[in-house]
Amino acid sequence: MVNHKPYIAMLFVQFIYAGMALFSKAAISKGMNPCVFVVYRQAFATITLAPFAFFFESKLTSLSYNLIWKIFLISLFGLTLSLNLYSVAIKYTTATFAAATTNTIPVLTLIIAVSLRTESISVQKLPGLAKVLGSVISLSGAFVFAFVKGPAINSMNWNSSTHNQTTNSVIKNHSVGEWIKGCLIMLAANTAWSMWLVLQGRIVKRYPAKLRLTALQCFFSFIQSAIWAIAAERNPSAWKLGWDVHLLAVLYCGVIVAGITYWLQVWTIEKKGPVFTAIFTPLALVITAIFSAFLWNETLHWGSVAGVVLLVGGLYSVLWGKKREEGERVANEEHVDSNKEKLYWNVLHISDDF
């Protein structure tokens, strides 16, 4: 059972991420302003993380004004921008599409990291070539999923006619223009999130208190999103939360997603590494597609399936190339260490002879 804990943890995380897409789609489709949704989500995330950051990271790490300013900017262009774009995009697309495009995040992160020269690729070697081809295939799959429909998969239509009224309030037939706009905004949101991931590595080196860093970024994102939402939504009634799906969605995304998934992913990365964690990403798409078809009568098309195959195949190609490169790097380091040790003993032996 102990050996299976990482697998159970990552399966649970993918269910949580699937729920995030489903709840976000339900709340926004039922009239909640996307900007207001992000404000409440980040407020609950800050409230959830702050006590853990205070008690579990009691040793204070000094924060300079320069570092605070950098954290503020990263929160603005990462969390605030990506979450607001995501919430707007899901209004014009589906929960399944939102879950599908999250598989492009590792690929987009790789492209940005290479552009910023924080990571290198050698196309002359098989792992580097696999990463390049995987990136192209994965992004192609995202566009195929978005723009190529094909025949509908009728076997996925599990909803009865008695639920049509509830279904239509969540799944709406958007125009072609709205769908294209939603797809492009979603890809922009994933690009902003990928940029945040790349920049996160630099900030963590200067401020290693990860919980406090995350809580601080959530707080900055809450302030920034509140200013954005107040400027965009002037109607006070849009800010009211009742005992409905709106409250449930912001509590779920703010408390469960920001709290539980953070700990589970950090724990799993420590046990199995980041590649193991990324391998489970496509499961959220499968779970979301099944629940969307069952609950909301969302129709899946064969063109979307082809896009998913390309997207996931490209993702695994990138992950394989990255894991292979890491293995070669570790082997080279061990070889260098071994040569250094042999050189040390040879020098020691020569000195003894003298």
What is the reported pLDDT for 334? 60
Structure confidence at residue 88 (pLDDT): 92
Quick one: which of 229, 274, 199 has its CA closest to 6? Answer: 274
Does residue 47 contact residue 314 with C-beta atoms inside 8 Å?
no
- List, as one string, the DSSP characters of 136-149: HHHHHHHHHHHH--
Which segment of 11-15, 65-69, 137-141, 202-206 scores lowest on mean pLDDT? Answer: 202-206
Q: Which amino acid is at 80?
A: T
pLDDT band at 64 (very low <50, low <70, confident <90, very high): confident
Q: Are 83 and 218 in contact (CB under 8 A)?
A: no
Q: Which of 186, 237, 234, 229 lies closest to 38, judged by CA?
A: 229
Token couple for 189: 């949101």
Q: Report the candidate in 217, 206, 257 with the shortest Cα–Cα distance to residue 79.
A: 217
What is the spatial distance between Cα 138 and Cα 242, in angstroms, rounded to a whole number? 40
Residue count of the chain: 354
* 317 backbone φψ class: left, alpha, beta (φ>0; ψ -120 to 50): alpha
Separation of alpha carbons 127 and 131, rounded Å: 6
Largest CA distance in the chain: 95
Percent of the chain with pLDDT over 90: 17
Q: Are 76 and 219 in contact (CB under 8 A)?
A: no
Q: For residues 97, 34, 26 and 315, what is the CA-based torsion angle, rounded to 10 degrees?
A: 20
Which position has the token pair 């590649």? Answer: 275
- At 163 the pLDDT is 47
Dihedral sign of CA atoms 32, 38, 39, 41 in order: positive
Three-state secondary structure call for residue 273: coil
| pTM across the whole model | 0.80
- Per-residue pLDDT for 120 more than 90? no
The pLDDT score that the predictor gives to residue 284 is 85
CA separation, residue 312 to residues 140, 186, 268, 280 (Å): 11, 18, 21, 11
Burial class (CB in 10 A: 0-12, 13-18, 19+), 65: exposed
Angle at 317 (CA atoms; ends 315, 117), nearest 5 degrees = 80
- Give the sign of the dihedral formed by CA 290, CA 293, CA 298, CA 303: positive
Q: Please determine, for residue 207, whether its predicted confidence score (pLDDT) is greater than 70.
A: yes
Please determine, for residue 84, whether its predicted confidence score (pLDDT) is greater than 60. Answer: yes
pLDDT tier at 162, thresholds 50, 70, 90: very low
Instruction: Give the pair of three-digit tokens for residue 102.
Output: 């999250």
Averaged pLDDT for residues 65-78: 89
Percent helix, strand and coil across the chain, each to the nearest 5: 80, 0, 15
**3-state DSSP assignment of residue 174:** coil
Question: Exposed (0-12), middle (13-18) or buried (19+): which is 155, by Cβ within 10 Å?
Answer: exposed
- In the structure, what pLDDT confidence band is assigned to residue 44 with cuts at 50, 70 and 90? very high
pLDDT bin (cut points 50, 70, 90) of residue 315 is: confident
Mean pLDDT of 235-260: 87
69 touches 195 (CB < 8 A)? no
CB 34 within 8 A of CB 80: no
